[in-house]
């Protein structure tokens, strides 16, 4: 598939597609999804892992004057 064919099928301009490919344009998520769909793929969003926080390690880094009990 040529760039022009992809642009036509995804209903975006060839110029827009070229700029996205070359990192010269910010891309609207909806347009990117259309291009990805035309290419036969899908985008899946998954939750990021929750950041871990080690309270004991954090407390150990504090000086005794900073810790209120």
Give the CATH H-level superfamily of domain 1-44: lambda repressor-like DNA-binding domains (1.10.260.40)
Q: What are phi and psi of 19, to 5 degrees?
A: -65, -40
pLDDT digits (tens, 9 = 90+) for 8-30: 999 999 999 999 889 887 778 88
Question: How far apart, in whole angstroms, are the C-alpha atoms of residue 38 and residue 9?
Answer: 7
Q: Domain coordinates of the chain in residue numbers?
A: 1-44
Q: Does the structure show a pLDDT above 70 at 66? A: no
Alpha-carbon distance of 34 to 27, in angstroms, equals 12
| Residue 61 pLDDT | 84
pLDDT digits (tens, 9 = 90+) for 26-49: 778 889 999 999 999 999 989 988
The pTM for the full model equals: 0.54
């Amino acid at each position: 598939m040529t760039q022009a064919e992809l642009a036509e099928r995804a209903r975006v301009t060839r110029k827009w597609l070229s700029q996205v490919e070359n990192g010269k344009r910010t891309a609207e998520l909806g347009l990117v999804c259309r291009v990805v769909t035309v290419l036969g793929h899908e985008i899946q969003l998954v939750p990021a892992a929750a950041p871990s926080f080690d309270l004991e390690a954090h407390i150990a880094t504090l000086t005794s004057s900073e810790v209120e009990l």
